[in-house]
Amino acid sequence: MKRGKNYKAQAEKIDRTKHYELKEAVPLLKSLGKAKFDETVELSANLGVDPRHADQQVRGTVVLPHGTGKSIRVLVLARGEKEKEASEAGADYVGADEYIPKLREGWLDVDTIIATPDLMGEVGKLGKILGPKGMMPNPKSGTVTFEVAKAVQDAKAGKIEYRVDKGSNIHVPVGKMSFDEKKLMDNITVLITELIRAKPSASKGRYLKSLTLSPTMGPSIRLDAQQIFTEMR
């Protein structure tokens, strides 16, 4: 793949033979040349698990202390008193009779969908539409709940979902390049701590095989995964 001059200039700042400590990596990331937009910073992890086995799945949610820097559009599928509760909590779209048919027709102009348990009989029929987009409400991620106000507030505050893929990898946004070093450090630390907490008991050997930080348009910075694991576990 051909790389542009800006990418190459950024890559020259990174020692490709080195695995950086987090306290070195974040300032280095901030020093990289910026694109014409506020790039997302992503943490990628390769884990020592076999996701083909149910007892080695790594999945959960975490609220980043400083959010992701993205404005989250929330749809709450609810009826009655829960509609009012969701609206007062700041949901962008609320209702069932209006939005379930819209979703069935392919409308997906939202980032997170929350549903009350009593509606899952209807929402479950949207699985073929919402599932491939990763937007199907799920009790494990806290998006199927009667506590809709808390769910909306968490989503707006920067709650993210992580899930290991078939290649044993996890890719999660941890902020924006415009964030200062402390905010990025806080978000990254909370996420890695959560990933370590979620380590399946069936996982043997090295768990955090690799960790990298990267901006949307820039090169990745390899982290010292073993040192970070030892410090944070």
7 has pLDDT over 90: no
Tell me the angle at which helices 225-232 and 181-197 cross, rounded to the nearest 10 degrees.
80
Same domain, 163 and 152: no
Query: How high is the pLDDT of residue 2?
Result: 66
Domain region containing 196: 5-67+159-232
Q: Which of 103, 130, 156 is the last residue of a domain?
A: 156
14 has pLDDT over 90: yes
Please compute the mean of the pLDDT values over residues 41-68 and round it to a whole number. 94
pLDDT per residue as tens digits for the range 15-53: 999 999 999 999 999 998 778 899 999 999 999 999 999
Output the domain CATH number for residue 193.
Answer: 3.30.190.20
Q: Which of 106, 126, 156 is the last residue of a domain?
A: 156
